[in-house]
């Protein structure tokens, strides 16, 4: 979708330009004006009078014009995709520039400042890293030298061998283990309390390619435990903010952020090609879909889940110690999710979820390095922060398990082979449905705005799945809840059970208030 938008804007204006003329900031800024923009972030790169301790009098920039234009366009287009809603304009000067002159100008406009700041930073870092531009420095003593910006960055910057020195000197890791890590592709689904610390340690360890999946945006109530984000990131897509934070920590790995929601229809494609997968999500519906996709692809899954001060850690591999279905048998997923009580507002102890996320990273790294043992992987580890205890429960495959029971005839996706797309509806899509029953799912202590009940919205306690089944049987039902998490999960679960006309409103409901805050 965002690719389309970017291509469209490319038709109307050039996103990246090379110029031999002095850069006119005001004129460029005017080109970015649009009525829905609430923020404009501008970066100006100036020629300074010193470099690596030597005085500089002027610079000459020379570019491979065509290549630089193609690469510059690619950088701007990609950055716009990473930060939906941002419009970016970038101009790079070539030719002779004196001290104080503008060498690079980047302007980003968007509805809110958080995304604009992130996109602006990413654009200049990528320009410095990738653009085929050389600069010739003229020093005060009359000497001059050509410097490739990229080579310069690489030569001056940190080196992988130094970066990983304290890790690769472990005999269990060594240089060959470090190479294994560099070749590994790790998928982290859910960039929250588990996903943030997990991604941090995977980044530090040098997992070569890290794919981060999360459709959410950074909220203030995330920050006490989601250690990748700062107050500057509020409102920004989690994946974009996470990629920026992780990029600053390790320049030697590939980072890919996908601001999308894992579903039955995209799970297999997302899992494909990865060495190991981390389940850092917050509901059983998604957990089962991801689990089934991993088992089907034969990719090891490191799963953790947290409730308040304690949590569980499991590694699932095909044919090893049973699967998630062996543990839960045929218990309805909707009831598991309701019982687990993980609405977005659920209380959680930051260090406990951090601990489990770090353990997930550790297990993933062990799998890549071949350090894992069957002893640790055929167990559910119950981690309790209040007692400082870990209790490990042995898992066994259930011979009667419909999913993994017969190894020869592995049947993935008992739960996840049904389409669950088009469950989330925008306001326009809701209107297009015509007559529907609106339902507000309420936690204890929450109440529905009386104006909403007057227009027919039905309040239903969040645990009353039976009532939802009844309503869904009568006609189309749209679920809402205070944060939009539980309603989406329950709608998907009822779909998996076979209900057809059940939907969830995308986003949170302002009509539900809480007396608990």
Partner 1 sequence: MLREQAGKSVLDLTTTAATPAELYRELQASHALTFPATLLRVSINERYVTMESPLQPGDRVVFIPPVAGG
Q: Which residues form the interface with partner 1 (CB under 8 A)?
A: 190, 192-195, 279-284, 287, 304-308, 310-312, 327-328, 331, 335-337, 339-342, 346, 348, 353, 380, 382, 384, 386-387, 391-396
The whole-angstrom separation of Cα 272 and Cα 294 is 8
The whole-angstrom separation of Cα 236 and Cα 440 is 27
For the record, the structure tokens of 220 come out as: 């203030």
Going by C-beta distance under 8 Å and a sequence separation of 6 or more, which residues neighbour residue 366?
372
Q: Which is nearer to partner 1, 312 or 418 (CB)?
A: 312
* Beta carbon of residue 326, minimum distance to partner 1 (angstroms, whole number): 8
Q: Which is nearer to partner 1, 106 or 383 (CB)?
A: 383
* Beta carbon of residue 343, minimum distance to partner 1 (angstroms, whole number): 10
Q: Which residues of 407-424 are buried (b: 16+ CB within 10 A; e: fewer)?
A: eeeeebbebbeeebeebb
Instruction: Single out the residue of 45, 114, 105 nearest to residue 76, CA to CA.
Output: 105
Q: Which is nearer to partner 1, 268 or 307 (CB)?
A: 307
* Beta carbon of residue 384, minimum distance to partner 1 (angstroms, whole number): 7
Q: Which is nearer to partner 1, 192 or 412 (CB)?
A: 192
* Beta carbon of residue 53, minimum distance to partner 1 (angstroms, whole number): 49
Q: Angle at Cα 120 formed by Cα 40 and Cα 262, nearest 5°?
A: 105
* Beta carbon of residue 189, minimum distance to partner 1 (angstroms, whole number): 9
Q: Which is nearer to partner 1, 2 or 309 (CB)?
A: 309
Q: Which is nearer to partner 1, 80 or 279 (CB)?
A: 279
* Cα end-to-end distance, the chain, whole Å: 37
* Beta carbon of residue 188, minimum distance to partner 1 (angstroms, whole number): 11
For the record, the structure tokens of 436 come out as: 């529907």
For residues 139 and 62, the answer to whether their CB atoms sit within 8 Å is: no
Instruction: Single out the residue of 111, 78, 89, 110 nearest to residue 23, CA to CA.
Output: 89
Whether the CA torsion 126, 129, 133, 138 is positive or negative: it is positive
The whole-angstrom separation of Cα 250 and Cα 245 is 9
* Beta carbon of residue 329, minimum distance to partner 1 (angstroms, whole number): 9
Look at the block and give the residue holding tokens 């529907």.
436
For residues 216 and 238, the answer to whether their CB atoms sit within 8 Å is: yes
For the record, the structure tokens of 66 come out as: 């065509």
Q: Which is nearer to partner 1, 150 or 327 (CB)?
A: 327
* Beta carbon of residue 309, minimum distance to partner 1 (angstroms, whole number): 9
Q: Which is nearer to partner 1, 226 or 509 (CB)?
A: 226
């Amino acid at each position: 979708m965002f690719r389309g938008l970017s291509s469209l804007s490319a038709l109307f204006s050039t996103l990246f330009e090379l110029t031999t003329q002095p850069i006119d900031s005001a004129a460029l800024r005017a080109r970015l004006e649009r009525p829905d923009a609430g923020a404009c972030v501008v970066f100006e790169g100036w020629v300074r009078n010193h470099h690596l301790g030597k005085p500089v009098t002027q610079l000459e920039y020379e570019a491979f014009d065509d290549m630089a234009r193609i690469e510059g366009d690619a950088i701007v287009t990609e950055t716009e995709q990473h930060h939906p809603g941002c419009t970016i304009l970038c101009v790079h000067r070539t030719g002779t520039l004196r001290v104080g002159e503008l060498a690079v100008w980047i302007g980003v406009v968007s509805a809110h400042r958080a995304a604009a700041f992130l996109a602006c930073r990413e654009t200049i870092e990528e320009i410095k890293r990738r653009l085929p531009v050389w600069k010739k420095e003229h020093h005060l003593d009359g000497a001059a030298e050509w410097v490739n910006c990229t080579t310069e960055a690489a030569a001056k910057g940190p080196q992988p061998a130094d970066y990983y020195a304290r890790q690769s000197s472990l005999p269990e890791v060594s240089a060959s283990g470090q190479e294994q890590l560099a070749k590994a592709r790790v998928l982290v689904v859910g960039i929250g309390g588990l996903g943030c610390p997990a991604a941090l340690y995977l980044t530090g360890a040098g997992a070569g390619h890290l794919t981060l999946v999360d459709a959410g945006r950074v909220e203030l109530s995330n920050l006490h435990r989601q250690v990748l984000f700062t107050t500057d990131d509020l409102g920004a897509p989690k994946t974009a903010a996470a990629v920026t934070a992780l990029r600053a920590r390790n320049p030697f790995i590939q980072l890919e952020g996908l601001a999308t929601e894992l579903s039955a229809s995209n799970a297999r494609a997302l899992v494909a090609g990865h060495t190991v997968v981390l389940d850092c999500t917050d509901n059983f519906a998604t957990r089962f879909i991801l689990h089934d996709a991993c088992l089907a692809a034969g990719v090891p899954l490191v799963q953790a889940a947290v409730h308040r001060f304690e949590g569980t850690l499991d590694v699932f591999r095909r044919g090893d110690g049973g699967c998630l279905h062996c543990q839960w048998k045929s218990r309805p997923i909707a009831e598991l999710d309701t019982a687990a009580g993980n609405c977005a507002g659920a209380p959680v102890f930051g260090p406990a979820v951090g601990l489990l996320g770090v353990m997930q990273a550790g297990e993933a790294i062990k799998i890549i390095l071949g350090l894992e043992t069957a002893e640790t992987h055929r167990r559910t580890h119950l981690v309790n922060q209040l007692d400082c205890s870990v209790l490990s429960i042995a898992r066994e495959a259930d011979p009667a398990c419909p999913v993994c029971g017969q190894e020869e005839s592995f049947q993935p996706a008992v739960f996840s082979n049904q389409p669950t797309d088009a469950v989330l509806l925008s306001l326009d899509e809701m209107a297009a449905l015509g007559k529907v029953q609106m339902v507000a799912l309420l936690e204890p202590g929450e109440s529905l705005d009386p104006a909403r009940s007057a227009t027919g919205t039905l309040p239903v306690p969040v645990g009353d799945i039976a009532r939802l089944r009844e309503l869904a049987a009568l006609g189309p039902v749209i679920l809402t809840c205070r944060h939009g998490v539980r309603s989406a999960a329950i709608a998907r679960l009822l779909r998996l059970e076979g209900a057809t006309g059940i939907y969830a409103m995308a986003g949170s409901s302002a009509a539900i208030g809480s007396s608990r805050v």
